[in-house]
C-alpha cells in the first residue's frame, strides 16, 4: 500500500494531489490501485462536473410538463395522451477527434442507451457537428468519418436521424464537435429510473461482453488534445450497432415484464459509474463479483473490469424473483444477461473478484464526493478588439454586388444545403418522419394521436464567442423560433456546453456568461432545461474552440395536419416580417455575411429581445391553430434575404419566387440603416411568413394582440427572387434555379475545393 503514495499514480489517472488527499481523508485510509482508478474516472470532469456544477444549478429545470429533470439518464417531458418524451444530447468530441468513425458511432450508441434507460423506445436522432474549414484536408477526413460513423450506427439501429447542424470554422480545426441528441417515447407508466432500490434485489449486466476497450475514456475526455492523444488511441471503443439493436429490444421487453427496478446504461466509466450512481440515487449499496461479468478477454483484473468502457452494455437492478425471466429474454435475443451481485444497505460499493474483496468505497463519496471548483473568471482580452466594430469598419457594397453576395452566402458551407450529410442517414425509418432534415426543425407524427414531436438543435458559436451571454440566449431563441415556425409550442431543452479549459479564466468567463444567458432565455420562454452534458477542455495547440453551448429543443405540435412549413405555397400570397429586423451595423456582428463577404469575425451581437421572441412564438402557434399562414421561416445565418431565398427554394411549383422591398421595415428616415445590414444582418427575433391576402387582417390582428411588429414586405411570385429599394428601384433579381443551384452544391464544392 505504501507504494501508492510514492509513485503517485493518481496524477497519471488525472487526479490532482489535493483530490488524492481528499480521498484519503474521506476514506480514512489509502485507496488501493483499483479504488484509485475508480475515483479517477468518477471524479473526472466528464463524470463529476467539477467545474460546472455550481453554474448548472442556476439553470431553470422545473415546469408543469417536466416529469424528470436533470440528474437521471435523460429528461422526460409530458406530451399528453398519457405519453412522455425522453430526450438528451451528449458530446463525443474527443473520441471523434482521434477516430472519427468509431467516435461518432459510439456517441450515438451512448445517447441511445441513455434514452432506453428511462424506459422509452428511442425514436429519433439529431447530430450537431462542428469542423474546421472545409478546404482543410484534416476536415475532410474528420467530416467523412464522423458522418459515416453516425450513418453506420444510427441506420443499423433503425432510429431515424431527422435533423442536426453542421458548422465550419477555424477554431474547430483541431477539435471537432460531435454532439448527438436522441429522443424516445413511452407511456407514463413505463417510466424507469436509474436507482438500485430494494435490498436483496439482483444486479445484472445485460448486453455485450466486457473487454479492455476504452479504459479511462472519460479522463481522456477531460484532457486537452495534443500530440500525445495519438498514443491514447488504443482507448478507442468499437461500436457494434447490431448488438445495440438487440439490446434495445431486449431491455424494452425486460422492462415491460415488470422485472426491472432500476436501469442505467454503462457509458463513461462503465461498471464503476453505473454501480455507484444507481446505488447513490437509491441511498443503498451494492456488492458485485466481477468474476461473474461476461468477459471477452482473458486475465482481466478488477481495475480493468471496473473501468472498461466496452459498448452496448446496461446495468439492471432486477427483483429477485424475476431474474430467470430476464435471463430468458436475454437468451432470446442472444445477449449475455448475467447476475453479478446484489443490492445491500451498506452504502458501499463492494467489488469482489471471485470472492476476494478488491474495492470497497462509500457510493456517496464516489458519486457525489468530488470537489467543486469555482475557478477565476476574467473577461477575455480579444473582446476589446472585436467590440470595436462599427459601421465604418466595413465598406457598404454597391447594389450591383448584392446578387454575388447572396449567391456566395447561399453556397457558404454553413448555409448551403446539408443534403450531402443527411442523405447518408436513414431519416424515414419508423415511418413517422413528416418533415425530415433540410427544411428546418424535424416534425415526427405520434402514431395513434393527432400530435407531432418537433426537434431542433441550434447554436452559432461565432456569436457566443463575440458575446457569450447574448450568443447562448440566442441559441435558445433560435431553437425556439425554429420550433415555433412549424406551428409547435416549444416545451423544454437539453443542452451540451462545449467549451475550452475551465482552468483558463477567460474560458471560464465564457462558460459563466453563456450559462447565464441560457438561463435567462429559458426562463423567459418557459422552456426548462431537463438535462444535458458538459464537454470542457476542447482545445488544440493551446487554442480553445468557439464556446458552443448547443441547445436541443423539444416542441409539441397539437395537430400535425395544421403544421406550417418553410416553402412558399401560392403565387400572390403576401410576404411579411413578424418581429424586428434592425438593419443597422450592429446587426452585422458575427454574421455569416461579415465573414464570407468581408473576412471578419467581429462586433457585439445584441442580446435577444426575449419578450419579443415570446410574442412571436405566441403569434405563430395561434396562426397555426387558425390555419391562416401558408409558410413560415425564421431568420438565422444570412439574415432576411437568405430566409426568403430558402422559402423560394422550398416553394411549391409556381410559387418559388418572391418580390420584396424593405420599405415597410421602416428604412425611410433612419440614419443608421444600411442596405447590407437590412438584407444580410442577423437577428433572431424575426420570422418571414406568407399568407393569402384575405388573411392579412387576421394575421395583423394576432400580431397586435401580442405586441409583435408586423410588416408586409412583398409578394410570392413564380420563379425569381427580386428586391426593390425603398425608393422603388429594382436592385436585385435572381432566378430561383440559380439560387437553388448555389444552395444545393455549396457544401460539396467547398469540401472538394
Partner 1 sequence: MKFGVVVFPGSNCDSDAYHVIKDVIGVDCEYVWHETRDLSDFQALVLPGGFSYGDYLRCGALARFSPVMDSVYRFVDEGKLVIGICNGFQILLEAGLLPGAMLSNNVLEFRCQWVNLRVENTKTPFTCLYEPGEVIRVPIAHHEGNYYAEPEVLEELERTGRVVLRYVDASGNPTAEANPNGAAHNIAGIINEKGNVFGLMPHPERCSESILGSRDGRRVFLSMIKSLETGALLS
Partner 2 sequence: MKFKGTVTVWLKEGIFDPQGAAVKGSLEAMGFKEVEKVRIGKNIVISLDAENALEAKDLLEQMARKLLANPVTEAYRVHVEEEKAGAER
Ligand X SMILES: Nc1ncnc2c1ncn2[C@@H]1O[C@H](COP(=O)(O)OP(=O)(O)O)[C@@H](O)[C@H]1O
Residue 282's SS3 state is helix
Q: How deeply is 698 buried, as exposed, middle or buried, from its count of CB atoms within 10 A (0-12, 13-18, 19+)?
A: middle
Contacting residue, 333, 508, 691, 743, with partner 1 by CB under 8 A: 333
- Residue 482: name its binding partner from ligand X, partner 1, partner 2, none (Cβ under 5 to 8 Å by kind): ligand X
Which string of x and - marks every residue 400-429 that binds partner 1 (by CB under 8 A)?
A: ----------------------xxxxxxxx
- Closest residue by beta carbon to Mg ion: 458
Specify the stretch interacting with partner 1 by CB under 8 A; choose among 94-102, 152-160, 381-389, 522-530.
152-160
Task: Quote the Cα angle for 264-207-425, to 5°.
Answer: 85
d(CA 91, CA 71): 17
β-sheet bridge partners, residue 339: 204
Q: Interface with partner 2 includes 492 (CB under 8 A)?
A: no
Q: Are 463 and 604 in contact (CB under 8 A)?
A: no
Q: Which of 208, 314, 312, 202 is nearest to 261 (CA)?
A: 202
Q: Interface with Mg ion includes 682 (CB under 5 A)?
A: no
Catalytic-role residue among 51, 92, 192, 208:
92
The question of whether 701 is a catalytic residue gets the answer: no
Contacting residue, 99, 277, 458, 539, with partner 2 by CB under 8 A: 99
Which CB, 127 or 339, lies closer to ligand X?
A: 127
Quote the distance between the C-alpha of residue 74 and its chain's center: 13
- Residue 164: name its binding partner from ligand X, partner 1, partner 2, none (Cβ under 5 to 8 Å by kind): ligand X
Q: Interface with Mg ion includes 634 (CB under 5 A)?
A: no
Specify the stretch interacting with Mg ion by CB under 5 A; choose among 99-107, 211-219, 457-465, 580-588.
457-465
Which CB, 277 or 458, lies closer to Mg ion?
A: 458
The question of whether 92 is a catalytic residue gets the answer: yes
Specify the stretch interacting with partner 2 by CB under 8 A; choose among 5-13, 229-237, 396-404, 642-650.
229-237
Which CB, 309 or 350, lies closer to partner 2?
A: 309
β-sheet bridge partners, residue 583: none
Size of the site for partner 2 (CB under 8 A): 18
Specify the stretch interacting with Mg ion by CB under 5 A; choose among 109-117, 458-466, 543-551, 670-678.
458-466
Strand ranges (E), 107-259: 121-131, 161-168, 177-187, 202-207
d(CA 400, CA 221): 50
Q: Interface with partner 1 includes 245 (CB under 8 A)?
A: yes
Q: Interface with partner 2 includes 297 (CB under 8 A)?
A: yes
Residue 252's SS3 state is helix
- Residue 99: name its binding partner from ligand X, partner 1, partner 2, none (Cβ under 5 to 8 Å by kind): partner 2
Specify the stretch interacting with partner 2 by CB under 8 A; choose among 239-247, 277-285, 299-307, 404-412.
239-247
> Least Å distance between CB 538 and partner 2?
20
Quote the distance between the C-alpha of residue 543 and its chain's center: 22
Q: Are 252 and 322 in contact (CB under 8 A)?
A: no
Tell me which residues in 179-208 interact with partner 2 (CB under 8 A).
none
Specify the stretch interacting with partner 2 by CB under 8 A; choose among 238-246, 501-509, 664-672, 690-698.
238-246
d(CA 190, CA 654): 48
> Least Å distance between CB 558 and partner 1?
15
Tell me which residues in 301-320 interact with partner 2 (CB under 8 A).
310
Alpha-carbon separation of residue 426 from 115, 151, 241, 433, 441 (angstroms)? 19, 7, 14, 10, 17
How many other C-beta atoms are found inside a 10 Å radius of the C-beta of residue 390?
Answer: 13
d(CA 199, CA 346): 10
> Least Å distance between CB 725 and partner 2?
48
> Least Å distance between CB 243 and partner 2?
7
Which CB, 397 or 438, lies closer to Mg ion?
A: 438
Q: Are 555 and 441 in contact (CB under 8 A)?
A: yes
d(CA 118, CA 114): 7
- Residue 395: name its binding partner from Mg ion, partner 2, partner 1, none (Cβ under 5 to 8 Å by kind): none
- Residue 439: name its binding partner from partner 2, ligand X, Mg ion, none (Cβ under 5 to 8 Å by kind): ligand X
Q: Which residues are within 8 A (CB) of 187 and not within 5 positions of it... i.e. 6 or more apart?
A: 82, 83, 84
Q: Are 485 and 687 in contact (CB under 8 A)?
A: yes
Contacting residue, 45, 90, 240, 539, with partner 1 by CB under 8 A: 240
Q: Are 153 and 96 in contact (CB under 8 A)?
A: no
Catalytic-role residue among 46, 94, 353, 650:
46
Tell me which residues in 546-565 interact with partner 1 (CB under 8 A).
560-561
The site for ligand X (CB under 6 A) is made up of 127, 129, 161, 163-166, 418, 421-422, 437-440, 458, 482, 636
Size of the site for Mg ion (CB under 5 A): 1
Which CB, 209 or 565, lies closer to ligand X?
A: 565
Specify the stretch interacting with partner 2 by CB under 8 A; choose among 95-103, 172-180, 705-713, 743-751.
95-103
Q: Are 649 and 656 in contact (CB under 8 A)?
A: yes
Which CB, 244 or 592, lies closer to Mg ion?
A: 592
Which CB, 105 or 259, lies closer to partner 2?
A: 105
> Least Å distance between CB 440 and Mg ion?
9
Q: Are 733 and 661 in contact (CB under 8 A)?
A: no
d(CA 83, CA 188): 6
> Least Å distance between CB 332 and partner 1?
8
Place of cell 450515438: 108
- Residue 213: name its binding partner from Mg ion, partner 2, partner 1, none (Cβ under 5 to 8 Å by kind): partner 2
Q: Which of 339, 340, 335 is nearest to 350 (CA)?
A: 340
d(CA 475, CA 465): 12
Which string of x and - marks every residue 555-584 that binds partner 2 (by CB under 8 A)?
A: ------------------------------
> Least Å distance between CB 334 and partner 2?
7
Phi, psi angle pair for 495, to nearest 5°:
-145, 155
DSSP 46-112: HHH-TTTHHHHTTS----TTEEE-BTBSSEEEEEETTEEEEEEEEE-HHHHHHSHHHHHHHHHHHHH
Q: Which residues are within 8 A (CB) of 240 and not within 5 positions of it... i.e. 6 or more apart?
A: 208, 311, 312
Q: Which residues bind partner 2 (CB under 8 A)?
A: 98-99, 102, 211-213, 233-234, 236, 238-240, 242-243, 296-297, 310, 334
Which residues does the annotation mark as catalytic? 46, 92
Q: Which residues bind Mg ion (CB under 5 A)?
A: 458
Amino acid at each position: 500500500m505504501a507504494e501508492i503514495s510514492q509513485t503517485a499514480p493518481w496524477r497519471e489517472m488525472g487526479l490532482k494531489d489535493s483530490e488524492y488527499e481528499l480521498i484519503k481523508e474521506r476514506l480514512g485510509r489509502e485507496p488501493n490501485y483499483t479504488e484509485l482508478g475508480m475515483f479517477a474516472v468518477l471524479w473526472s470532469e466528464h463524470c463529476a462536473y467539477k467545474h460546472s456544477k455550481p453554474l448548472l444549478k442556476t439553470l431553470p429545470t422545473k415546469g408543469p410538463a417536466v416529469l424528470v429533470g436533470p440528474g437521471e439518464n435523460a429528461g422526460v417531458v409530458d406530451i399528453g395522451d398519457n405519453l412522455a418524451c425522453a430526450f438528451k444530447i451528449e458530446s463525443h468530441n474527443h473520441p471523434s477527434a482521434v477516430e472519427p468513425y468509431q467516435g461518432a458511432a459510439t456517441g450515438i450508441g451512448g445517447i441511445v442507451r441513455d434514452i432506453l434507460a428511462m424506459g422509452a423506445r428511442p425514436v429519433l436522432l439529431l447530430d450537431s457537428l462542428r469542423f474546421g474549414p472545409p478546404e482543410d484536408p484534416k476536415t475532410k477526413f474528420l467530416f467523412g468519418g464522423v458522418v459515416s460513423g453516425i450513418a453506420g450506427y444510427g441506420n443499423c439501429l433503425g432510429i431515424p436521424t431527422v435533423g442536426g447542424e453542421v458548422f465550419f470554422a477555424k477554431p474547430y480545426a483541431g477539435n471537432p464537435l460531435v454532439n448527438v441528441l436522441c429522443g424516445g417515447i413511452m407511456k407514463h407508466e413505463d417510466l424507469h429510473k436509474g436507482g438500485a432500490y430494494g435490498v436483496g434485489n439482483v444486479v445484472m449486466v445485460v448486453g455485450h461482453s466486457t473487454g479492455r476497450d476504452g479504459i479511462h475514456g472519460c479522463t481522456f475526455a477531460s484532457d486537452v488534445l495534443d500530440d500525445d492523444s495519438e498514443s491514447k488511441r488504443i482507448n478507442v471503443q468499437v461500436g457494434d450497432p447490431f448488438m445495440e439493436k438487440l439490446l434495445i429490444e431486449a431491455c424494452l421487453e425486460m422492462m415491460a415484464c415488470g422485472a426491472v427496478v432500476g436501469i442505467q446504461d454503462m457509458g463513461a466509466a462503465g461498471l464503476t459509474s453505473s454501480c455507484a450512481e444507481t446505488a447513490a440515487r437509491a441511498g443503498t449499496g451494492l456488492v458485485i463479483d466481477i468474476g461473474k461479468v461476461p468477459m471477452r478477454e482473458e486475465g482481466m483484473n478488477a481495475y480493468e473490469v471496473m473501468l472498461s468502457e466496452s459498448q452496448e452494455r446496461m446495468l439492471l437492478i432486477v427483483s429477485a424473483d424475476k431474474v430467470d425471466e430476464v435471463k430468458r429474454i436475454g437468451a432470446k435475443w442472444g445477449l449475455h444477461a448475467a447476475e453479478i451481485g446484489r443490492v445491500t444497505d451498506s452504502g458501499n460499493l463492494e467489488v469482489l473478484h471471485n470472492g476476494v474483496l478488491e474495492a470497497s468505497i462509500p457510493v456517496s463519496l464516489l458519486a457525489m464526493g468530488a470537489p467543486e471548483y469555482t475557478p477565476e473568471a476574467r473577461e477575455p482580452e480579444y473582446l476589446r478588439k472585436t467590440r470595436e466594430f462599427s459601421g465604418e469598419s466595413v465598406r457598404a457594397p454597391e447594389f450591383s454586388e448584392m446578387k454575388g453576395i447572396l449567391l456566395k452566402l447561399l453556397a457558404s458551407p454553413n448555409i448551403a444545403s446539408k443534403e450531402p450529410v443527411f442523405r447518408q442517414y436513414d431519416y424515414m425509418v419508423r415511418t413517422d418522419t413528416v418533415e425530415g432534415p433540410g427544411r428546418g426543425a424535424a416534425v415526427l407524427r405520434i402514431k395513434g394521436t393527432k400530435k407531432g414531436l418537433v426537434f431542433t438543435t441550434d447554436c452559432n458559436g461565432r456569436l457566443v464567442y463575440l458575446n457569450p451571454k447574448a450568443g447562448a440566449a440566442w441559441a435558445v431563441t433560435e431553437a425556439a423560433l425554429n420550433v415555433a415556425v412549424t406551428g409547435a409550442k416549444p416545451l423544454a431543452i437539453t443542452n451540451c456546453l462545449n467549451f475550452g479549459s475551465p482552468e483558463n479564466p477567460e474560458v471560464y468567463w465564457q462558460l459563466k456568461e453563456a450559462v447565464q444567458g441560457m438561463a435567462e432565455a429559458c426562463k423567459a420562454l418557459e422552456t426548462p432545461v431537463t438535462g444535458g452534458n458538459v464537454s470542457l477542455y476542447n482545445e488544440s495547440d493551446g487554442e480553445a474552440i468557439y464556446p458552443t453551448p448547443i441547445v436541443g429543443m423539444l416542441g409539441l405540435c397539437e395537430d400535425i395536419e395544421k403544421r406550417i412549413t418553410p416553402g412558399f405555397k401560392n403565387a400572390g400570397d403576401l410576404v411579411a416580417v413578424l418581429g424586428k429586423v434592425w438593419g443597422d451595423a450592429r446587426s452585422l456582428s458575427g454574421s455569416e455575411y461579415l465573414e464570407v463577404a468581408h473576412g471578419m469575425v467581429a462586433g457585439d451581437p445584441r442580446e435577444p429581445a426575449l419578450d419579443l421572441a415570446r410574442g412571436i412564438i405566441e403569434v405563430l402557434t395561434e396562426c397555426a391553430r387558425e390555419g391562416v399562414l401558408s409558410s413560415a421561416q425564421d431568420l438565422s445565418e444570412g439574415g432576411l434575404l437568405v430566409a426568403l431565398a430558402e422559402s423560394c427554394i422550398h416553394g411549391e411549383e409556381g410559387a418559388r419566387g418572391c418580390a420584396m422591398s424593405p420599405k415597410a421595415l421602416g428604412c425611410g428616415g433612419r440614419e443608421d440603416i444600411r442596405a447590407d445590414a437590412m438584407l444580410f444582418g442577423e437577428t433572431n427575433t424575426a420570422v418571414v411568413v406568407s399568407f393569402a391576402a384575405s388573411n392579412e387582417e387576421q394575421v395583423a390582428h394576432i400580431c397586435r394582440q401580442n405586441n409583435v411588429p408586423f410588416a408586409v414586405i412583398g409578394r410570392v411570385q413564380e420563379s425569381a427572387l427580386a428586391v426593390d429599394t425603398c425608393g422603388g428601384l429594382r436592385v436585385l433579381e435572381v432566378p430561383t434555379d440559380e439560387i437553388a443551384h448555389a444552395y444545393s452544391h455549396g457544401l460539396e464544392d467547398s469540401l472538394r475545393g
